[in-house]
Structure 1
Amino acid sequence: MNKIRILSIIAVFMVQVIYGLTFTFANDVIDAGHVRPFGFILLRVLGATCMFWLLSLFTPREKIETQDFVRFIVAAFFGLVLNMLTFFKGLEYTTPIHASVIMTVVPIVVLVFSSIFLKERITLLKMLGILLGFSGAIILSVYGRSTQSGDDIVLGNFLVFINAVSYSIYLILLKKLATKYHPFTFIRWLFLFGSIMVLPFGYSELAAVEWHLFTPYIWLSVLFVVIAATFGTYLLNPLALQHLKASTVSIFLYIQPVVAGIFAVIMGSDHVNSVKIVASALIFSGVYLVTRRPKS
């Protein structure tokens, strides 16, 4: 395994660790009632957009073909607009544990889409890795459910499922863009188009925010979601996709339920037992099998 591939795997691993923490942070902000879901999304996208365009001032310029702007708009819709709107609205009705487990359908959807649109070969090793990871996630969900139910679990879970499918489509589109342009080139346009599309949904909710009511923890959670879970992850994912297959990147999503469980233990809301250890081992084994390169 070469150095670039190792760094790419570390990058995509960090993305899933950040996302695993985001379920709790975002849910706490929404449950506190200080920011409504769509207002939170607009704040998240606008904040990251500003950071990406500031970053572009210090990076080389690259010419973009006119027809590719249509791809940017479509990728922004699936990767930012539909993805975030359904995720945050879903968190309003469901729990972080439910949401993180539902997201484990992404590798399966990406694997199917990759074989159709990217002509990626589905190997037996990959299928075994996905089966192991999915089994671990299911076991973890059965024994790791939150004691507090959302207002409408079924609706919330359905919205998170739509988010998962949307994210899968985004990864496929992103793979095509990442092989043609450097991430610094297209990611700023992706967020600019995304912020324009999100604006009508979140403007009124963001305008109604009473910032003086924010506690230090709420401020920390908001900053984490904007800086780490948006700017950081949307920068690392395309960098990793330059050297990894879309299906390989998606399998790392199985790490999210593990991170959610570990974070719950740290926060004192859960405990470790043998079942959770076995489930975590299955998930990481699945990730290992999928990321292994077949011998020539």
Structure 2
Amino acid sequence: MRNSYRVHGALFFVALIYAANYSLSKDVMPHYLGPFGIVTLRIVGATVFFTIIKYVVAPQDKIKGWADNLRSLACGICGIGVNQLLFFSGLNLTSPISASLLQTIAPIVVVVASAILLNEKITLPRLLGIAVGASGAAALILSRNVQAAIYPQATLGNVYILANATVFGLYLVLVQPLMRKYHAFTVLARVFLVGVFLAVPFGWHEALTADYAHFPLSIWLEIGYMVVFLTILAYLLNNWALKYASPALLGVYIYLQPVLAVLIAVALNKDHLTWGKAGQALLIFLGVWLVSQKPPTPVAPLTTAQD
């Protein structure tokens, strides 16, 4: 029971980190740093961190066999390289509201992929939880006032975000067997290393040509947040939770992101919390609870002793 609280606490903190990123990333790009430049700094920084920590805490742990190595390659492509390139490209072109709405597709991908790849049972409560959570998130985001800013390439940005949510949902399913078999730092060091080879060719120019000397302190802090919290800590907590939670439960916490984004906006006096928004938040929490319910274990019939 105590470990269950820790899992939910970790997933909640990850949702909070991601929710804050929608606003922080907009402060940085594209004026100070392009989307691919941000991805490069994030992935390179995280790769160095996880590689060093891996050789300190689990020096003998190695991913073995063709199957696991191919799986780690797929995880690096889906969960690190393609995922982050698509997300920041999309967020750079569309509004945070649209981006957070489209992120809710990931739990649907997780449930379907879990059923196909992990033979995980899709129960009626889980299907209901997906529907309730999605309706709450959609109602919350669509009820907000239309932003005055104009995004001429919003359609393309929305396509990128939709693709990002899809590949991230697939990553959550693919990485689970690795996290249960190997040390967390072993897996993260490998998948981020794969991500480096995929992302750096796209972002090295933006990262090297940025005018870092004229970055204000607030921008440096936001970049540090994206490297330390959004990349290192969020991935670490997410992958640790996969040891104890189903991919469906981890994926559905994405529904919390728009709720937390509203709370952050209220704290910064950029939005107002209404009874309607409170009701929509309750729908999302109800969806999380329903998806977290495990299928009942069938009881074996009693047998009588034979003479």
2 CA distance for matches of 1:149 and 1:16?
A: 27
Shift of 1:28: 1.6
Of the structure 1 ranges 145-154 and 78-87, higher mean CA displacement relative to structure 2 is found in: 145-154
Determine the structure 2 residue equivalent to 1:143.
143
Corresponding residue of 1:69:
69
Name the counterpart of 2:272: 271
Three-state SS of the structure 1 residue aligned to 2:29 is helix
Q: What does the per-residue CA deviation read over 1:55-86, in whole Å, with 9 as the maximum and x for residues that have no partner?
A: 22331231321412222221111101111111
Deviations 1:10-67 (A, max 9, x none): 1122111111111111122114x11011011000101111111222233123132141
Q: Aligned partners of 1:184, 1:231: CA distance in 2, in Å?
A: 11
Distance 1:122 1:293 in 2: 10
Kept in 1: contact 2:81–2:194 (CA 8 A) = no
Partner of 2:174: 173
Cα distance between partner residues in 1 of 2:273 and 2:133: 19
Residue correspondence of structure 1 range 68-217 to structure 2 within 5 A: 68-144=68-144, 145-217=146-218
Q: What TM-score does the superposition give when structure 2 sets the normalisation length?
A: 0.92
CA distance in 1, matches of 2:11, 2:199: 26
State the alpha-carbon separation in 1 of the partners of residues 79 and 16 from structure 2. Answer: 19
Distance 1:109 1:94 in 2: 22
Which residue identity is paired with 2:178? L
The answer to whether the 8 A contact 1:92-1:150 is kept is: no
Instruction: State how 1:1-80 maps to structure 2 within 5 Å.
Output: 2-31=1-30, 33-60=31-58, 61-67=60-66, 68-80=68-80
Q: C-alpha offsets along residues 84-123 of structure 1, whole Å, 9 cap, x if unaligned? A: 1111011111111211111001111111111111111111
Query: Displacement of 1:147 after TM fit?
Result: 3.3
The one-letter code sitting in structure 1 at the alignment partner of 2:167 is S
Cα distance in 1 for residues equivalent to 2:147 and 2:184:
37
Residue identity matched to 2:205: S
Q: CA deviation at 1:128?
A: 1.4
User: In structure 2, what is the Cα distance between the partners aligned to 1:146 and 1:99?
Assistant: 13
Question: Secondary structure of 2:62's match?
Answer: coil
CA distance in structure 2 between the partners assigned to 1:149 and 1:264 by the alignment: 20
Gap regions ≥5 residues in structure 1 = none
Q: How many residues in Structure 1 have an aligned counterpart in Structure 2?
A: 294
CA contact (8 A) 1:136 1:283 kept: yes
Q: Is contact 2:77–2:195 with CA below 8 Å preserved after alignment?
A: yes
**Over the residues paired in the alignment, what is the CA RMSD in angstroms?**
1.4
The secondary structure found in structure 2 opposite 1:57 is helix
Counterpart residue type for residue 211 of structure 1: Y
Separation of aligned partners in 2, 1:191 and 1:53: 9
In the aligned structure 2, how far is the partner of 1:38 from the partner of 1:93?
A: 13
- CA distance, structure 1, for counterparts of residue 228 and residue 161 of structure 2: 22
Taking every aligned residue pair, what percent have the same amino acid on both sides? Answer: 35
Which amino acid is the alignment partner of residue 138 of structure 1?
A
CA deviation profile, 1:219-276 (whole Å, cap 9, x unmatched):
1111111000000011111110111111111111100111111112222221111221
- Secondary structure at 1:80 match in 2: helix
Structure 2, unaligned runs of 5 or more: 298-307
* In 1, Cα distance between equivalents of 2:194 and 2:296: 42
Contact 2:62 2:182 in 1 (8 A): no
Counterparts of 1:249 and 1:137, CA distance in 2: 16
1:295 Cα deviation after fit: 4.8
What secondary structure, in the 3-state scheme, does the structure 2 residue paired with 1:76 have? helix
- 1:179 partner SS: helix
